[in-house]
Structure formats: C-alpha cells, structure tokens
Structure 1
Amino acid sequence: MASDLLSIAYSGTRAARSSLEVTAQNIANADTDGYVRRSANIREVAASPGFPYQDRLTLAGSRVAGVERNIDPLLAAEARRSSSEFEGAKTLLSGLKAIEGAIEAADPFGAIVGFEESLQALQADPVNTALRIAVIGKAETVANAFRHVSGELGAQSVAAAERISYAVDEVNQFAGSLAKLNEKIARAGLESSGRAHLLDQRDLLLSQLNERADIAVSFESNGTVKVQIGDDRSSALVSGTRVGTFTWAADASGVATFQVNGANTNLRSGAIDGLRQTQLEIGDAFVRLDQQADNLRQLVNASQSAGSDLSGAPGSPLFGGSTAGTMSVVITGADKLATAPAGASPMSRDTSNLDNLRASLSQKGIAQASNQHLFDVSTKVVKQDVTVQAVGAVSNAARAALQLQAGVDLEQEAANLVRFQQAFEASARAMQTATEIFDTLLGIG
C-alpha cells in the first residue's frame, strides 16, 4: 500500500512540475508574436492488478499526455479572413489618398480658373502686351498643373506595381517556408512541445499570407495544411511539401492579373488586391485627367484658329501635346493670341473671338470638370475611410476574441503558478506520508 502511495504521489509531482514548466513557458512568451497559450494535458493512469488481486481496483496516479495549444480553429479562421479584408481596405484607402493629394497639390482647377481670369482681364484691353503675356503665363500654369498631376499618377502607378511584385515574392517565400513546416509537423511527436512551436509558426505564416492575399486553408489530420489562393480552386499554392508558384502580370491597361501555377485567379481581399484596386483608380484618374486636358486644348486651339492675332493673321495653337502628361504651351509670342474675329484688321480691339472663347469655357464646364474630378476622388476617400473603420472594427473584434481564447493572460498564469505549486507540495507531502507509513510498517515487523 505504501509503495502504491509513493508511486501515485510521485506521478503527481511530475504532473505538477510539468504544468509549472508550461505555465512558465506561457509567461515567458506572453509578448511573442504568434505564440499560442499551452497547457499540460494531465490524464489519469489506471492499472489493472495482477494475481491474486483480480477483484480489486488499483490506481496508478496521473501522467502528462502532452502539451496542448489552446486555440479555436474557427476563431483563427475568422481572424485571418477579417484581417485580409482590413489590409485590402487600408491599402486602397492609402492609394486613394495619394491620388487626392496629387490633384490637390497641382490644383489644375485653380490653374484653369486663373487662366479664365487672365482672359477676362485681357478683354478690357486686348492689345495690351502685359495682359497678353499674363494670359500665356497662366496657360503655362495650366499645362504645368496637368503635367504635374500626370507625373505623380505615373509615379504612383510604378510604385503600386513594385509593391505588388514585392508582395508576390513574399507570398512565394511564405509558401516555401510553409511547405518546409509541413514536413517538420508531419514528423513531430503528437502533443509535443516542439510540435506546438511548429504549429505556432504555421499559423503565423498563414496570417502573413492572408494579409497579402485571401487564401483558403485546409487542415490535415496530422497538422499540415493545404493552401489555395484567390478564387481558383483547381491548384494549390501549398500542398504538403509541394509548393506552387504565384505570379502576376500587367494587362493592356497596366492593371495586375494573377496566376497560380499558370492558372488565372482573382483576389478578393488582402494588400495585393488593395494595390490592384489602386491601379484601377489610378487608371481612372488618368483617363479623366487626359480628357480634361484634351477638352481644354481643343477648345482653346479651335478658338485660336477661328480668330485673328494682332497682325491680322489667323491665330496659332496655344496648347500642344496629346495627353495631360505632354500638355505644353506652343504659341510663339503674345501677339499671336487671337482675340479678334477672323479677317479683322491688325491691332483690332474687337474682342468677339475672345468673348466666344470665354463663353465656350463656361458652357463646356472646363473648370467645373476638374473640380468635379477632385470632388469625386475625395468622396471615394471618405467612403473608403468609413469602410476601413467598419472592417477594422470587425478585424479588431475577431483578433480580440482569438487573443482572449488563445493568448496569455498573465493574471491567470500567476494563479496557475500558485495552484500547481500547491499541487506539487501536496504530492510531495503524500510521498512523505507514504514513506512514514512504510517506515512504521517496517518497525512493526
């Protein structure tokens, strides 16, 4: 009987010591990124007695069956999904703000208004050289504004493509690391501390993958994962130790398209999709900007050709270029501005052609179109900001729920330290009592 007590008590001290070690591990890694709280899996050991005590129940204490990670797969999946949506929304918001900033900084609307004001001033004295030079100067300001916005948008487009390329490389690197982890996880002992560490690294890589692109994850019974990316389900990016290839290419409009093992796939969230959507917004901004520049150029140049300059000759084009990025002032002198109607005498003060130009600028809404462009982009920024806040709230809630379930609570761990220490001392006291009983029995003998 005393020997049974010693065995049971000894198993209790081992279980309590293991629990203390796991608790200490939790406390030490409370701030480690990706760490999931562990607990020692303590199980009862019941041994059947041998002859001649077949009718008796013999208890054999407890044992440490392994180390468990305290994580809910459903909470983890929701945290990954919401995090992917949040990253995509944030990336798009950043892109929209950059577009808005480029338009605001160059201010083509203000430049066009200034150009129209200089035409109004010239109307009062159409042969005044200083006023004519001022008109050309304001025209230069307009051309510079359009070129500046176009240049900024071009730089943003290049930056978005570079970021996509870098993020795609990261996805492939993470996929390679995940395949290597799958191999190690398959070989690791069940419920071992080393396996728990490998699973932490696995989940961390999955989170990093999901921040860049939406993925579908399938968990195998041995802890390995199969990962598919985007909406393509025909091929896997990672399957066991096999690694696929995630690539991208620009379509005819310069917007990214994506492939997994050569098959097209469409991303629906993640930072890479946010960058793709940013490319779409940049492309839209380019189209509208070029249209504004082209409308202004055609209108002003048509007015010039319909009138006469100070020498009585037909007016020459004021603006050149075919896009906003190539817009420039090409008129050769202030005297070439055609303020008078066609056929007017030299140095004519007739401003009917200039009047028609001003009226056309107003009717066509050239300045208003530029202002509306900025307003539309700003509206998108406001809406996207609301989206980011909403998606961010969902993501934060999902992460908080996961952290509450899988994270380390230092207060709880401190209580566990006391509880397991008391369990260790109680088992040690039982060993001492068993020893005393054994000594007493020997003394009686």
Structure 2
Amino acid sequence: MPTALISIGRSGAAAARASLELTAQNIANASNPDYARRTLDQSEVVGSATIGLNSANSYGGVRIGTVARAESELVQIQFRSATADLARTDAEMNGLRGAETAIEQSRLFESLVDFEAELVRLESDPLDPVLRTSTLETARQLTNTFQLANGSLAKNRDLLQSEITASMQNAQGIADELARTNAELVKVRDGTAAKAALLDARDASLRDLSQQFGIEVQFDDFGTANVSLAGTPQVTLVSGANAATLGFAADPEGRVEFNVDGQAFTPSSGALSGRQSALDEMAAMQVDLDAIASQIITSANAAQAGGSTSSGGAAPAFFTGNSASNIEVALASGSDIATAPAGAPVGSRDVSNLRGLIGALSADNGPAAATDTLLLGVSSRISGLDTRRDGLSIIAQSAETALLTATGVDLDAEAAALVRLQQAFEANSRIIQVAADLFDTILALR
C-alpha cells in the first residue's frame, strides 16, 4: 500500500508540474497573436486485481498524455477571408487617395477656370497688350499644371508598383516558410510541444499570406497546409514542401498582371488585389487626364486656325503636344492670340473668334466639366470604398474575436488553473510524504 501511494503521488505531482509549466506558457504568450492555447491530456492509470472469483480495478495514479492545441478550422477560414477582404479594400482606397491628391493638389480645375476667366477678361478689351500677356502667362501656368498633375499621378503609380514589389517578395517569403513548416510537420510526432509550435507557425504564415492574397487551404493528416490562391483562375501556391514562384509584370500604362510559376491569374482579394485594382483605375484616370489636355490643345488650336491676330495676320498654333505630359504653349507673344475671325482688318475689335473658344471651354462637355467629372468620379469611388471598409472592419473584428475566444488565452481562467494546479502539486507531495511516513512506521514495527 505505501508503494502504491508513492506511485500515485509521484505521477500526480508529475502531471501537476507538467500542467503548471503548460499553464505558465499559456500566460506568458497571452498577447502573442501567433500562439494557440495548450492543454495537457491526462488519463487514469488503471490496474486489475483478482481475488477468488471476484475482480476489481485498481487505480494507480495519472498518466500524462499529449499536448492538445486549441484550434477551430471554421473560425480560421472566416478570419482569413475577412482579413483578405479588408486588406483589398484598404489597399485600393489608399492607392486611389494618392491619385486623388495628385490631381487635386495640382489645382488643375482651378487653372482651367483661371484660363477661361482670362479669356473672358481679354474679350472686354481684345487689343490691350497687358491682357494679352496675362492670358498667355495663364495659359503657360495651365500647361505647367497639366505636367504637374501628370507627374504626380505617375509618382503615385510608381509608388504603388513599388509596394506591389515589396508585397510580392513578402508573400514569396511566407510561401517558402510555409513549405518548410510543412516539411517539418511530417517529421514530428503528434501531441508534442514541437508539433504545437509548428502548427502555430503554420497558422501564422497562413494569416500573413491572407493579408496579401485571398487563399483557400486544405490540411492533410499531418497538419500540412496546401494553399491555393483565390482568383481567376485558381492557382496552387504551396503543395506540401514545395512553394511556387510568384511574379508580376507591368504594362506601359502601369497596369500589373500577376503570375504563379508563369501562369497568369487575377486575385480576388487581399492587399495585392486592391493595389492591382487601384492601378487599373489610375490608368483610366491617366487616359482621362490626357483627353482633357488634348481637348484644350485641339480647341485652342482650332480657334487660332480660324482667326487672325491683332495685326490682321494668320494666327499660329496656341499649344503643342497631345497629352498632359507634353502640352506646351507655342505662342511667342500675346499679340498672336487670334481674337478676331479670319480676314479681319488690323486692330479689329471683333471678338467672335475668341467668344467661340470661350464657348468651347465652358461647354457642358468642355475641359473644366471633364476635370470636375474626373475628380467627382474618384472621390465617389473612395467614399464607397470607405463605407465598405467600415463594414468589413466590423466583420474582421468579429472574426478576430471569435478566433481569440476559440484559440486564445483567457488570463482569468489560466490564473485560476494555476492556483488549482499548485494546490494539486502540494496535495500530491503530501501523499508522498504520508506514504513515506507509513512505510517508515511499518518498518519500525517489531
């Protein structure tokens, strides 16, 4: 009996100590987002004894089992999906905000309005050299504004492409690390602390990868993750211990196309998908900006071709170029502005030709209206994305809360378990002491 008590006390103390260590580990990692709560499986040590025709079970202590890791595949799927959707919306909105700022801060709309206003002032006194010079300088300021807007938009496009390069390198590193983790998971024994640590690393990699791309994951019996990128078409990124190679290419307009091992695909969610969408919209904005510049060039040059200068001669072109990047003022002097119609005499105050140019610029489909439409379009798109982000943030926070509830560490529960396990350890130590005293008493009998 004393030896049985010693065995019971020893196994109980060992189990309590192992549980204490695991509880302390849980508490130490309470704020670690890559850590999932651990518990220690325990079972009774049961023997059997037979006396005559009757048999009975004999309990002989505690058997320490495996380390169990808290996890919920369904909650993980919901969390990764919410993360990818939110990351896409955030990335697209931030990219478009940069493009919106590029156009707004260039003050293109204000410059177009100023140019039109100068033409209206010139209409009041078409032979005034001061007004002609002021109009020419306002036109030159307008061309500088177009080039500033074009350059700022190009810089934002380059910045977004640089972010894509960095994110692709990050995603490739995560995929390679996940493949290495898969290789290690096959080697370790189930129910060990090493296995739990590898599963933590696996889930952390999947979480980080879902920030960049929407993913679909399948697990095998070893816990290894086979990852496919959600998109058109769906492509495999990680299969067992092998990771595919990510790449992308940009066209002259700044649009990007992703590929996996050379196979092109379009991601459906994740930050990289959002940046791709932002670049597509910025390319469309560039087309609109060039169209506005071309409209200014065409309208002004057509007016010049159909009019005459203050000296009665044929008027040269007002602008050169064909886009926002190369628009320039071609006139050498304000006296070359064709305010009068062709064939008008020297010093004519007929402003019908100038009035036609003003009408073309102020029309409902004119450059100023087109610029206003461009800014309103991107602003509305950003506003819609902002609203969508608010909703997705709530969904993502709910998914994160559910994940923490399922796999995170509850400090109150762990603290209570710590006290209980300390008491259990002390109780088992007391059993061993009682057994030792009992054994000494038996040996002391005469």
TM-score exceeds 0.5 = yes
| One-letter amino acid of the structure 1 residue matched with residue 373 of structure 2 | Q
Deviation of residue 232 (structure 1)?
A: 6.0
Which amino acid in structure 1 is aligned with residue 417 of structure 2?
N
1:183 is aligned to: 183
Q: 1:278 to 1:43 in 2, by over 3 A?
A: same
Q: Secondary structure at the match of 1:187?
A: coil
3-state DSSP class of the match of 1:285? helix
- For the 8 Å contact 2:48–2:55, the answer to whether it is kept is no
Q: Per-residue deviation at 1:45?
A: 2.4
Tell me whether 1:438 sits opposite 2:439 in the alignment. yes
User: SS where residue 267 of structure 2 aligns?
Assistant: coil
Runs of 4+ residues deviating >4 angstroms? 49-54, 232-235
The 3 A distance-change label for structure 1 pair 12 and 73 is: same
Counterparts of 2:153 and 2:51, CA distance in 1: 88
Distance in 1 separating the partners of 2:396 and 2:53: 61
Q: Who is 1:192 aligned against?
A: 192
SS at match of 1:41: strand
For the residue of structure 1 that corresponds to 2:186, the secondary structure is helix
Task: Give, in whole Å, the separation in 2 of the partners of 1:9 and 1:54.
Answer: 27
CA distance in 2 between partners of 1:268 and 1:144 (Å): 39
> What's the CA shift for 1:46?
2.1
2:339 paired residue number: 339
Q: Secondary structure at 1:30's aligned position in 2?
A: coil
CA distance in 2, matches of 1:357, 1:261: 55
Distance 1:246 1:357 in 2: 53
Q: Is the 8 A contact 1:230 1:265 kept in 2?
A: no
1:266 aligns with 2:266: yes
Within 5 Å, give how 1:8-87 maps onto structure 2: 8-49=8-49, 55-87=55-87
Deviation at 1:290, TM superposition (A): 1.0
1:28-427 equivalences in 2 (<5 Å): 28-49=28-49, 55-231=55-231, 236-251=236-251, 253-363=253-363, 364-427=365-428
* Change beyond 3 A, Cα 1:180–1:116: same
* Mapped contact 1:157–1:282 kept (Cα < 8 A): yes
Displacement of 1:251: 4.5
What is the aligned-residue RMSD (CA, Å)? 1.9
Deviation at 1:443, TM superposition (A): 4.1
Percentage of identical aligned residues: 34
C-alpha separation between the residues in 2 aligned to 1:329 and 1:259?
A: 44
- Measured in 1, the distance between the counterparts of 2:239 and 2:49 equals 48
Contact 2:232/2:267 (<8 A) preserved: no
**Contact 1:229 1:265 (8 Å CA) reproduced:** no
Residues 51, 315 of structure 1: alpha-carbon distance in 2 compared, 3 angstrom cutoff: farther
- TM-score scaled to structure 1, two decimals? 0.95
* Distance in 2, Cα, partners of 1:209 & 1:42: 36
Shift of 1:51: 9.1
Structure 1: unaligned runs, 5 residues or longer: none
Q: Is the 8 A contact 1:310 1:335 kept in 2?
A: yes
Q: Distance in 2 between matches of 1:267 and 1:49?
A: 66
- Of the structure 1 ranges 309-318 and 48-57, higher mean CA displacement relative to structure 2 is found in 48-57
What CA distance in whole angstroms lies between the structure 2 residues aligned with 1:55 and 1:216?
55
Contact 2:27 2:409 in 1 (8 A): yes
**For 1:258-279, what per-residue CA distance to the aligned partner results, in whole angstroms no more than 9, with x for missing partners?**
2222222220111111110110
Deviation at 1:289? 0.8
Q: Aligned AA for 1:372?
A: T
AA in 1 matched with 2:436: T
Matches of 1:235 and 1:281, distance apart in 2 = 25
Q: Which moved more, 1:266-275 or 1:434-443?
A: 434-443
Give the direction of change, closer, same or farther, for the CA distance of 1:100–1:232 in structure 2 (3 Å limit).
Answer: closer
Q: Secondary structure at the match of 1:35?
A: coil
Cα gap change, 1:352 to 1:233, in 2 (>3 Å): closer
TM-superposed CA distance for 1:54, in Å, is: 7.7
Q: Give the letter aligned to residue 205 of structure 1.
A: S
| Per-residue Cα deviation, 1:345-387 (whole angstroms, up to 9, x for no partner) | 1121111111121122222432122112111111111111111
| TM-score normalised by length of structure 2 | 0.95
Q: Does the aligned pair in 2 maintain the 1:119–1:354 contact within 8 Å?
A: yes
Contact 2:50–2:56 (8 Å) recurs in 1: no
**Contact residue 229 and residue 260 of structure 1 kept, 8 A:** no
Asked if 2 retains the 8 angstrom alpha-carbon contact of 1:150 and 1:325, the reply is yes
Query: CA offset at residue 444 of structure 1?
Result: 4.5
> Residues 62, 340 of structure 1: CA spacing in aligned structure 2 closer, same or farther, 3 A cutoff?
same
Task: Provide the C-alpha distance between the structure 2 equivalents of 1:323 and 1:113, rounded to a whole number of angstroms.
Answer: 19
Is the Cα contact below 8 Å between 1:309 and 1:340 reproduced in 2? yes
Evaluate the alpha carbon distance shift between residue 131 and residue 59 of structure 1 in structure 2; reply closer, same or farther with a 3 A threshold.
same
Extract unaligned runs of 5+ from structure 2: none
CA contact (8 A) 2:233 2:266 kept: no
**CA shift at 1:130, angstroms?**
0.7
Distance 2:256 2:64 in 1: 53
Distance 1:64 1:31 in 2: 27
Q: Classify the secondary structure of the residue corresponding to 1:55.
A: strand
Can you list the C-alpha shifts for 1:303-337, whole angstroms capped at 9, x where unaligned? 11111001211221111111111111111211100
CA distance in 2 between partners of 1:110 and 1:82 (Å): 41
Counterpart amino acid of residue 229 in structure 2: I
Cα deviation, 1:233-288, whole Å, max 9, x if unaligned, reads: 77522111122112212356432112222222220111111110110110111111
In structure 2, C-alpha distance between the alignment counterparts of 1:339 and 1:44, rounded to whole Å:
104
- Shift of the 114–233 alpha-carbon distance from structure 1 to 2, 3 Å rule, reads closer
CA distance 1:301–1:16, change in 2 (3 Å):
same
- For 2:294 and 2:92, the matched residues in 1 are separated by 28
Q: 1:4 to 1:325 in 2, by over 3 A?
A: same
